Amino acid sequence: MRYRSLFTTIVLLFALFSLKAQNDYFFAEGTRFDPKIPTPEKYLGYPIGTLHTRHDAIVGYMRELARISDRAKLDTIGETYEHRQLVVLTITSPENHRNLESIRKEHLKLTDPTQRVGDYTDMKSVVLLGYNVHGNEPSSSEAAMLTAYYYVAGQSAEVRAALKDAVLMVDPTFNPDGRDRHSTWANSYLGDPMVSDPIDVEHNEAWPRGRTNHYWYDLNRDWLPLAHVESQSRIDFYHKWYPNVVTDFHEMGTNSTYFFEPTKPFGSENPVVPRDNYDGLNNLFAGYFHEALDEIGSLYFTKEQYDNSYPGYGSTYPDIHGALGLVFEQASSRGHVQDSPTGKVAFAFTIKNHVTSSLATVRASVGEREVLLKHMENYFDSALEEGAKNPVKGWVFGDPADDGRNQAFIDLLLRHKIKTVALNDDIELDGKNYKAGKAFYVPNAQKQYRMVRTMFEKVIDFHDSIFYDASSWTAALTYNMPYAEWKGKQDLSGKELTRNDLKGTYARVPKTNYAYLIEWNEYYAPKALNYLLEKGVYVNYGSKPFSIETNEGVKEYGYGTLMIPVSRQEMDADLVHAYVEEATEIAGIRAQSVKTGFSTSGVDLGSGSFTTVRKPKAIMLIGGNTNSAEAGEVWHLFDSKVGMPITKVDMDNAGRINWSDYNTLILVSGSYNSLGESTLDRIKLWVREGGTLITIKGATSWAIGAKWVNEKYAPRSERETPERMDYVTSRDFYGAQSIGGSMYMTDIDITHPIGFGYTSRELPVYRNHSTLIQPSSSPTNTVVKYTENPLLSGYVSKANLKDIGGTASLIATSMGRGNVVMFVDNPNFRGMWYGTNRLLFNAVFFGNY
Ligand SMILES: [Zn+2]
């Protein structure tokens, strides 16, 4: 008994010692903790900083805290593509936990301009501590566990005050799939002793690396497009709470120090965010950050860089919602320890800085509670006020020919809580007809007015000319949405929409023994087409318009209409009917049936203008120096919008491809010379024998440079040699000459198979590169061409704009019996370009035109 108790004492002492050692490293000396709450080290079995913690273990620790403590509660807010949980640990006093729902409801009054709060005495600061949006910037999730521990186990007066006055929400991993991809890499190459040599494999992950999510998307660009489940779940949660402060923790190059906001003034700020956010709140919080980092002797910098303008950043979206979004950047150890010119950077050290900033964020959020609450209330009051004062009452939009794209755009608006109505009456604006049923209205007079501006306003005046990222994000243009300002006296009336109203247009089609027709101008028509091809149904596409009597009356059909003849199939009429039903139902679109092939105008259904669709067997090269973001966009597009598999082959395995198994090859930006001569000759032969080669952006430059096609770069106009300038100003000068990311108008040939399904010749495109391609010398090859003065939205220098005007955006050319479809611009940028996606659908389904 005696011995046993002595033994227990020794074990306890040892445990306390190691607990103390870890705690003393990460927290201020003498911080007292409740011994009943396990430290991360105790729970995980290793000290924080000595291994990269798996996401499931992070979730496990959060769950353990919620199980043991009445200060914490865990919510699962969604899951990733790889079924990892997205969780939020809510930490506050037990009393606040008991009243959490009423605290939330009180808090939401701040966001409602019809309710006046004014007295904030009993209200709480709501702080969303978010971590690890970039999977290979791993220190932050480790910091999340320590931060959660600090507030769940902490016994100090400061912690108790924070729990009383704030609701803390720890979202430990914004991007669990990317985090685990990176962590598995770093852990599996961890040596004993550790290797700090930067060239060691531990510090150099393989393609596609861990920054991005399952589909290789940067989730720190996705708060606006909401292309992914992680962001969709997060935004739903966000709008349940409207936090006052949101953190976004990152890592940067190993040779740097630490960064906290303010970001670079003016140039990198968002145009719709009130100045008070930057001049007031940011500076107020910076005081808390520098004090905390000074205390532990950490070097840092502020104000010089980091973009705060693009609304899809986790640190900018909150600024457009009455909150303070904060980005932090820590010099990365990328691995467990890495050499830098100023000594070794250890993983634990990088974690410590993020812990320090996390605690300082909470300190500031509690200390400035009333300032934050007032800021939020004013923010939404002033949003409604400004919206109501705007001479533009609101925005009318809607594509008469594409319900799928209309609904996708409305879905985006509604996810961002933007009030949207379906118009009761037809309206004509700027020479365009908006027909009831296909026309919608967003009023400016609403509390989300600043998000409305984000969706519709074009921006071409800028304070600065250097952009870290995009300088334009006008969502309506990315969806190629016809839209117009409404300047009437009253708001237009209609039914307010909810996401339940967005169910597609599918309706049963009567069986016929003759043929079915599907309009190609519907965004989701490729999904139906793919389904039919999978089922072995022969489908034709028409290359000329016609009108014909259908079950819905006489209907006009445009270029690319799908025609499914019944008697020519290798299956009976009932089965054809069943497949047409299933295909249109899953795609959410309609088919029509016809009993005759005789058109009332245009070509008949037996015309030579109908061609049988070739079932795509698509392959895409990845790895090497290919652009993972572009490859991920292609992969995600065909998975999520078409349901069509694409075989992804690493560049190293390209020599093993049996080319006769495929008819479509997609190359994203990258240099393909490393494939070697024999593989390249094989691909060339495959195209000449009838394959379709699709090149995107950099791959188009590569194909032209390698002389696979007979197209040419367009000349750049002569630039004046700059006057002598001071070295320090040169970065700004040359930055202004580059093309950051802007939107341009093009003219599209809608009679070309690659242009099928478009009903207007006007097509906005996205350009963030300086490659200029001449229109083809073959007159029908330039399917998409920049207009002469093409800028729609975003920054571009005058000289660059002049050069871009009149160049090619997409060229399709033949090569032997095959075709090469060359995208100068990326049609899938960030999963938001519903407008240009169709070009890629056409290239894949009609690429052998
Ligand atoms: Zn980052």
CATH number of the CATH domain containing 349: 3.40.630.10
Is the predicted pLDDT of residue 558 greater than 70, yes or no?
yes
Cα 133 to ligand 1 centre (Å)? 7
Cα 469 to ligand 1 centre (Å)? 13
Of 360, 386, 412, which one is at a domain's C-terminal end?
386
Q: Which of 155, 145, 156, 162 is nearest to 35 (CA)?
A: 155
Same domain, yes or no, for 275 and 126?
Answer: yes
Task: Supply the angle between the helices 55-68 and 139-153 in degrees, to the nearest 10.
Answer: 10
Cα 287 to ligand 1 centre (Å)? 23
Cα 707 to ligand 1 centre (Å)? 38
pLDDT at 304: 82
Provide the CATH number for the domain around residue 829.
3.40.50.880
Of 477, 501, 525, which one is at a domain's C-terminal end?
501
Cα 685 to ligand 1 centre (Å)? 43
CB neighbour list of residue 734: distance below 8 Å, 6 or more residues apart: none
Any domain includes 478:
yes
**Rounded-to-integer distance, Cα 46 and Cα 187, Å:** 13
Any domain includes 363:
yes
Cα 406 to ligand 1 centre (Å)? 33
CB neighbour list of residue 388: distance below 8 Å, 6 or more residues apart: 444, 445
Same domain, yes or no, for 403 and 528?
Answer: no
Q: Which residue has the tokens 């188009």?
A: 700
Q: Which of 715, 743, 753, 734 is nearest to 840 (CA)?
A: 753
Q: Which residues of 420-439 are buried (b: 16+ CB within 10 A; e: fewer)?
A: bbbbeeebebeeeebeeebb
CB neighbour list of residue 598: distance below 8 Å, 6 or more residues apart: 548, 604
Find the mean pLDDT for residues 285-309: 91
Is the predicted pLDDT of residue 321 greater than 50, yes or no?
yes
- 253, two tokens: 């190059």
pLDDT digits 0-9 by tens, 814-849: 999 999 999 999 999 999 999 999 999 999 999 999
Any domain includes 93:
yes
**Rounded-to-integer distance, Cα 741 and Cα 469, Å:** 7
Cα 199 to ligand 1 centre (Å)? 21
Is the predicted pLDDT of residue 92 greater than 60, yes or no?
yes
Query: What order do you get walking across the sheet with 618-622 strand by strand?
Result: 647-650, 618-622, 664-667, 692-696, 818-823, 808-815, 782-793, 742-748, 762-767
CB neighbour list of residue 647: distance below 8 Å, 6 or more residues apart: 618, 619, 620, 662
* Overall pTM surpassing 0.85 (yes/no): yes
Cα 669 to ligand 1 centre (Å)? 22
Same domain, yes or no, for 193 and 296?
Answer: yes
Cα 213 to ligand 1 centre (Å)? 13
Q: Which of 566, 561, 434 is nearest to 512 (CA)?
A: 566
Whole-number mean pLDDT of the chain?
94
Same domain, yes or no, for 519 and 467?
Answer: no
Is the predicted pLDDT of residue 16 greater than 70, yes or no?
no
**Rounded-to-integer distance, Cα 17 and Cα 12, Å:** 8
Residue scoring higher pLDDT (391 or 795): 391
Cα 137 to ligand 1 centre (Å)? 6
Any domain includes 492:
yes
Any domain includes 414:
yes
Same domain, yes or no, for 412 and 302?
Answer: no
User: Residue 717: pLDDT band by 50, 70, 90 thresholds?
Assistant: confident
pLDDT at 1: 42
Q: How many domains is the chain partitioned into structurally?
A: 4
Any domain includes 26:
no
Q: Which helix (H) or strand (E) holds 167?
A: strand 166-171
Cα 52 to ligand 1 centre (Å)? 17
**Rounded-to-integer distance, Cα 623 and Cα 207, Å:** 6
Find the mean pLDDT for residues 709-721: 89
pLDDT at 8: 44
Cα 671 to ligand 1 centre (Å)? 26
pLDDT at 469: 59
Any domain includes 804:
yes
Q: Which domain holds residue 639?
A: 618-846
User: Residue 23: pLDDT band by 50, 70, 90 thresholds?
Assistant: confident
Alpha helical stretches, state H, 87-138:
94-98, 100-108
Cα 251 to ligand 1 centre (Å)? 5
Cα 87 to ligand 1 centre (Å)? 20
What radius of gyration, in Å, describes the C-alpha atoms of the chain?
29
Same domain, yes or no, for 56 and 153?
Answer: yes
Find the mean pLDDT for residues 448-473: 79
Cα 331 to ligand 1 centre (Å)? 11
**Terminal alpha carbon distance of the chain:** 88
Same domain, yes or no, for 597 and 624?
Answer: no
pLDDT at 232: 98
Same domain, yes or no, for 306 and 408?
Answer: no
Is there a contact between 130 and 77 (Cβ–Cβ < 8 Å)? no
Find the mean pLDDT for residues 368-372: 98
Cα 740 to ligand 1 centre (Å)? 19
**Which range (90-94, 540-544, 576-580, 739-743) has the least confidence?**
739-743
Cα 294 to ligand 1 centre (Å)? 23
Of 612, 630, 660, which one is at a domain's C-terminal end?
612
Same domain, yes or no, for 550 and 409?
Answer: no
Cα 307 to ligand 1 centre (Å)? 12
Cα 518 to ligand 1 centre (Å)? 44
Cα 135 to ligand 1 centre (Å)? 8
- C-alpha distances (whole Å) from 188 to each of 182, 200, 201 are 10, 12, 10
Any domain includes 307:
yes
Same domain, yes or no, for 176 and 270?
Answer: yes
Q: Give strand pairing partners of 85.
A: 79
Cα 218 to ligand 1 centre (Å)? 9
pLDDT at 135: 98
Same domain, yes or no, for 339 and 398?
Answer: no
* Burial (CB count within 10 angstroms: exposed 0-12, middle 13-18, buried 19+), residue 36: exposed
Same domain, yes or no, for 124 and 269?
Answer: yes
